[in-house]
């Protein structure tokens, strides 16, 4: 694809495509225990695709870079991305490799979940494949990556974004120890939840503003991450270190009765990317306003079952 053909997409997401197999239970089983479920659904997931769909539903022109297997799940998923309005030119169908799947158990008591991912075709997203999408990345406004593809592939996407002066969001999900230090410093916005922050920093019991601030200080000082950092704390809210203003901001999450928390973090990242891509003019408030809106949309998503199926189609009015 030529540079001209890469135009027209505000957000490019490089990442994973997983078919979600979701079982609902009264509670999460303990190891070795068999319990009876209350409901079962299949859905479309994978952190990368979730974030892309969350942004696309809000009206942003989005493109996705990833791989599917040449099977029933792959064909269904490809059609779903088309239906969601995503540019699928860089979604490749791989023969003799299954589409990635995520087995999810959701407990009814609090909507919390446990997830097991089998990568399948998503495991074949290589740095060389990411480089094929350079024209797409070069002509975008925001690039989003996670860690459900090879670390080297996510790193390459961040390097290409930096090369072309495109704003990048690195969602360190799932958490990985011993990431290349440059990977943490090259991105414009580093986004982690409390568990991922513990894995990356080596700190424990990150659960509130004070502990999250300690993690951010370690990322800034020991890991040389000098750009903006976001730590999400689930129902507690979000702590942002804004490198443009050199200020901390804590955003309290709306109090809601969660039905299913699956994909809430991806809804947050997708909404964040949408708001940043849509922002115009020079303002120190763009990032904090985007974070506030992302918290609101993510909180709304937990009110419904499913992953992508729970994502709103509009910006929910914020009370922040």
Q: What positions carry a catalytic annotation? A: 266
The verdict on whether residue 40 carries a ligand-binding annotation is no
Task: Compute CA distances 294 → 162, 182, 217, 289, 314, whole Å.
Answer: 24, 27, 23, 9, 11
Sign of CA dihedral 193, 145, 77, 5: positive
- Give the whole-angstrom CA distance, residue 161 versus residue 187: 9
The verdict on whether residue 236 carries a ligand-binding annotation is yes
Where are any strands of DSSP class E within the chain? 11-14, 18-25, 39-45, 62-69, 87-94, 100-107, 113-118, 142-145, 167-171, 189-193, 228-232, 237-242, 247-252
The verdict on whether residue 305 carries a ligand-binding annotation is no
91 CB-contact burial (10 Å; exposed 0-12 / middle 13-18 / buried 19+): buried
The verdict on whether residue 211 carries a ligand-binding annotation is no
The verdict on whether residue 46 carries a ligand-binding annotation is yes
The verdict on whether residue 45 carries a ligand-binding annotation is no
Task: Indicate the angle between helix axes 72-83 and 47-56, nearest 10 degrees.
Answer: 30
The verdict on whether residue 43 carries a ligand-binding annotation is no
The verdict on whether residue 54 carries a ligand-binding annotation is no
14, HSE (Cβ side, Cα atoms, 13 Å): 34
The verdict on whether residue 266 carries a ligand-binding annotation is yes
The verdict on whether residue 140 carries a ligand-binding annotation is no
The verdict on whether residue 242 carries a ligand-binding annotation is no
The verdict on whether residue 156 carries a ligand-binding annotation is no
- Give the whole-angstrom CA distance, residue 77 versus residue 88: 11
119-139 CB burial, b ≥16 within 10 A, e <16: bbbbbbbebebbeebbbbbbb
The verdict on whether residue 233 carries a ligand-binding annotation is yes
CA nearest to 261, candidates 151, 152, 106: 106
The verdict on whether residue 273 carries a ligand-binding annotation is no
Phi-psi category of residue 46: left, alpha or beta, with phi > 0 → left and psi -120 to 50 → alpha: left
The verdict on whether residue 310 carries a ligand-binding annotation is yes
The answer to whether residues 94 and 44 touch, using CB atoms and an 8 Å cutoff, is no
The verdict on whether residue 25 carries a ligand-binding annotation is no
> Which residue numbers belong to the known binding site for substrate?
18-20, 46-50, 148, 266
Write out the binding residues for ATP: 193, 232-237, 265-266
Q: Annotated binding site for K(+): which residue ranges? A: 260, 262, 301, 304, 306, 310
């Amino acid at each position: 694809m030529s540079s001209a053909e890469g135009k027209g997409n505000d957000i490019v997401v490089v990442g994973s495509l997983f078919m979600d197999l979701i079982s609902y239970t009264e509670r999460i089983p303990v190891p070795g225990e068999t319990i009876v479920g209350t409901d079962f659904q299949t859905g479309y997931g994978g952190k990368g695709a979730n974030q892309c769909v969350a942004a696309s539903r809000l009206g942003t022109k989005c493109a996705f870079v990833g791989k599917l297997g040449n099977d029933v799940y792959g064909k269904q998923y490809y059609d779903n991305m088309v239906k969601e309005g995503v540019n699928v030119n860089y979604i490749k169908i791989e023969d003799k490799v299954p589409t990635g799947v995520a087995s999810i158990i959701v407990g009814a008591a609090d909507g919390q979940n446990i997830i097991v991912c089998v990568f399948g075709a998503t495991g074949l997203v290589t740095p060389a494949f990411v480089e094929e999408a350079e024209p797409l990345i070069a002509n975008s406004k925001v690039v989003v990556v996670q860690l459900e593809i090879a670390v080297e592939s996510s790193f390459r996407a961040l390097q290409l974004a930096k090369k072309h002066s495109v704003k990048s969001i690195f969602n360190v999900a799932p958490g990985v120890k011993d990431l290349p230090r440059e990977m943490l410093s090259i991105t414009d916005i580093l986004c982690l939840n409390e568990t991922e922050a513990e894995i990356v920093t080596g700190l424990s019991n990150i659960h509130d503003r004070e502990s999250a601030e300690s993690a951010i200080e370690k990322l800034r000082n020991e890991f040389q991450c000098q750009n903006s950092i976001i730590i999400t704390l689930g129902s507690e809210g979000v702590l942002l270190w804004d490198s443009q203003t050199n200020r901390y901001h804590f955003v309290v999450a709306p109090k809601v009765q969660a039905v299913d928390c699956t994909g809430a973090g991806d809804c947050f990242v997708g909404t964040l990317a949408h708001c940043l891509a849509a922002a115009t003019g020079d303002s120190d408030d763009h990032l904090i306003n985007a974070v506030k809106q992302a918290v609101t949309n993510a909180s709304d998503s937990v009110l419904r079952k499913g992953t992508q199926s729970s994502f709103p189609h509009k910006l929910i009015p914020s009370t922040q």
